[in-house]
Every structure is written in C-alpha cells, then in structure tokens.
C-alpha cells in the first residue's frame, strides 16, 4: 500500500492527500514533522535528506517534493485525466505547479508563518505588509489567468490546480484584505465543491 509520511496540517502534505482522494487511492499515512518528530530519525532522513514532509513510498518508488509527488501520482494513476494527455495542456498544468512552488508560496508563506504561527507581539509588521502585497500580486496573476477558462490548464480540473488551490485556500483563510477577484473566487468555489478538497484542505490553519 502507498505510504505517506506527513502531518495533516502541512500544505505540502495536503496537496498529496488531496490528490490521493481525487484518485480514490488507499494509503497508509504516518504522522511526521514538527511535534510528531520522525523526520530526524536516520531511517527517515535516508529516504528524505531534507527531513521535511511529505515523503511517499509506493513499492520501489520513494519520493519527496510535494509537487513532484502529485505529478507522479497523477501520471501513474490517471494519465489522460489529472495528468493531461495533450502535451501543451500537461505542461501548462506543470507550469502552474512550479509557479506555486517558486512564486506564490514563497510570497504567502511568510504571511502564514507571521499570522498563524507567531505571537502578535513578535511579528515584524513591515515584513507582514510586504508579504501581503506580494501575495496579492500573485493572486492577481491567477485572476487574470482564470478570466477566460474554468481551470488553470483549461477546461478540466488537472494536477495543476492542486498546489495552487491549496495555497489560495490559505490566502482566503488569513485575516487580511481580500479584494474582489471574481475569477479566482469562482474557481476557488469550484474547488470548495470538491469532496476531497473539503475533507483534506478546508481545515482550520494551524
Ligand atoms: N518543497 C518541499 C517543502 C517541504 C516542506 O517545507 N515541508 C514542511 C511542511 S509544509 C516541513 O516539513 N516542515 C517541517 C516539519 O514539519 O517538521 C515540498 O514541496 O515538499
């Protein structure tokens, strides 16, 4: 059975769990990371030298990097579906996954850490403002993208929507200004209608 290491409140673990539920995959999840520990054991760091979550083991395949895991699962279990068959659609989805990891989450993460995991008295207000502005710029890029198409890679839900929607959920859940962005809102509402998203991602931030 597919094994997944990672605590359920981690955005990166949520991407993988959400993908598994979309695919109807059974898995065995082991709590790991932060207060659960595990990641600092020699056994774990032999599979994931970063000592971060998530990590998966699927038979002979051992993988870390959440977006790569989502790609792997989508390709292995739903080629032509979650992983689009058409090359330009597939790499459109891949592009948004990389954008989530390199642009959107790096912009939003400091805000998440400051507002959810840092006491108010210890917050750096100027860093919070910068992160808020940079996150909003990223969400505006999404809003533009979604102007004339239902999902990030076109007409269908794909693996490309998974990392970005998990991040947008955090953006909407934070106590910050959320200017009206109708295309992102419509797409986010589509995500919120998916049972797997409700079960895995729509949980209180912690
Ligand atoms: N680029 C990696 C980042 C992994 C990562 O930063 N994971 C965080 C949780 S979201 C982590 O392991 N934090 C330390 C911990 O939980 O002990 C990925 O996408 O999988």
Average pLDDT over residues 53-75: 98
Provide the pLDDT confidence category of residue 166 given band limits of 50, 70 and 90.
very high
Quick one: pLDDT at residue 179?
98
Say which CATH number the domain at 43 has: 3.40.30.10
3-class DSSP assignment, residue 79: strand
Domain boundary among 30, 49, 78: 78
Q: Single out the residue of 162, 170, 153 nearest to residue 196, CA to CA.
A: 162
- CB burial class (10 A; 0-12, 13-18, 19+) of residue 82? buried
Quick one: pLDDT at residue 137?
98
Pocket probe mutation, ligand 1, options 10, 13, 31, 163, max atoms within 8 Å of Cβ: 10
Question: What is the share, in percent, of the chain residues with pLDDT greater than 90?
Answer: 100
| Boundaries of domain holding 15 | 2-78
Quick one: pLDDT at residue 134?
98
* Counted domains in the chain: 2
Q: Is residue 96 part of a domain?
A: yes
Quick one: pLDDT at residue 36?
98
Residue 11 Cα to ligand 1 middle (Å): 8
Quick one: pLDDT at residue 30?
98
Beta-carbon contacts of 85 under 8 Å, excluding residues fewer than 6 positions away, are 79
Provide the pLDDT confidence category of residue 6 given band limits of 50, 70 and 90.
very high
- pTM surpassing 0.85? yes
Residue 148 Cα to ligand 1 middle (Å): 33
Same structural domain for residues 43 and 135?
Answer: no
Q: Is residue 58 part of a domain?
A: yes
Quick one: pLDDT at residue 11?
98
Chain mean position to CA 111: 16
Same structural domain for residues 154 and 174?
Answer: yes
Domain boundary among 21, 46, 78: 78
Provide the pLDDT confidence category of residue 163 given band limits of 50, 70 and 90.
very high
Q: Which two tokens stand for residue 51?
A: 């000592």
Provide the pLDDT confidence category of residue 90 given band limits of 50, 70 and 90.
very high
């Amino acid at each position: 059975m597919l094994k997944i290491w990672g605590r359920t409140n981690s955005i990166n673990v949520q991407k993988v769990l959400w993908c598994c539920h979309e695919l109807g995959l059974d898995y065995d999840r082991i709590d790991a990371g932060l207060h659960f520990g595990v990641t600092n054991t020699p056994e774990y760091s032999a599979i994931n030298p970063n000592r971060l979550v998530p990590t998966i083991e699927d038979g002979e395949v051992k993988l870390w990097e959440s977006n790569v895991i989502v790609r792997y699962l989508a390709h292995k279990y739903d080629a032509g579906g979650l992983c689009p068959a058409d090359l330009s659609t597939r790499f459109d989805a891949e592009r948004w996954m990389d954008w989530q990891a390199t642009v959107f989450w790096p912009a939003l993460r400091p805000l998440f850490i400051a507002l959810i995991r840092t006491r108010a008295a210890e917050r750096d207000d100027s860093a919070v403002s910068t992160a808020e502005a940079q996150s909003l710029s990223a969400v505006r890029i999404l809003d533009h993208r979604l102007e004339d198409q239902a999902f990030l890679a076109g007409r269908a839900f794909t693996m490309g929507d998974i990392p970005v929607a998990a991040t947008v959920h955090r953006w909407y859940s934070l106590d910050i200004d959320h200017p009206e962005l109708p295309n992102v809102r419509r797409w986010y509402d589509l995500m919120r209608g998916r049972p797997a998203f409700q079960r895995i991602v729509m949980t209180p931030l912690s």
